[in-house]
Amino acid sequence: MYKNILVAIDLSSDTQSIIANALRMAGSDPGKLNLVHVVEPVAGAYSMDIYALNIGELQQEAIAFAEQRVKALSKELGIPAERTHTLLGSPAAEIRSLASEIKADSIVIGSHGHSGWEILLGSTAIKVLHGATCDVLTVYVGSEPD
């Protein structure tokens, strides 16, 4: 049914579960998948005193590290290199933008199943869902309640 699936990964231990669900949607054809990992700007993740450090260098290291991991994962899965993307920016906005650019017919993304205020404040999955122009599958990757 789906021929061009954008799989948003955070490179955590949940990545394999998200990809497994996307592969099922693709009928086990990795050629239908696009992998994307979005690196958030380093400055946004730290307090103002980090400006004493070389932000540009830290940012480039983070991007290079993510690119290596995404490329290794795509090679392992048999996903063509041109279908892998490592971007810099706000994850939800970048994922939606890439989905539109590549004309994805679906997006697969992990969700920790937050509730209450956490939903109102927003997770990346919720932000991707609101504004997506294609189907979105959220894969529950949270831990089981005690």
Q: Please give the pLDDT value at position 56.
A: 80
Would you call 35 helix, strand, or coil by DSSP? strand
Q: What is the pTM of this model?
A: 0.86
* pLDDT confidence tier of residue 121, bands split at 50, 70 and 90: very low
Per-residue pLDDT reduced to its tens digit, 41-55: 876 555 555 555 677
Is pLDDT of 30 > 70? yes
> What is the CATH architecture of 5-140?
3-Layer(aba) Sandwich (3.40)
Task: Give the mean pLDDT of 33-62.
Answer: 78
Helices 55-77 and 15-25: crossing angle, nearest 10°?
A: 50
Task: Give the mean pLDDT of 87-107.
Answer: 97
Q: Which of 51-55, 69-73, 100-104, 134-138 has the lowest mean pLDDT?
A: 51-55
Q: Which of 61-65, 86-90, 109-113 has the lowest mean pLDDT?
A: 109-113
Is pLDDT of 146 > 90? no
* pLDDT confidence tier of residue 118, bands split at 50, 70 and 90: low
Residues with Cβ within 8 Å of 107's Cβ and at least 6 positions away in sequence, in order, are: 5, 6, 7, 8, 95, 99, 128, 132, 134, 135, 136, 137
Would you call 117 helix, strand, or coil by DSSP? helix
Q: Which helix (H) or strand (E) holds 18?
A: helix 15-25
Cα end-to-end distance, the chain, whole Å: 37
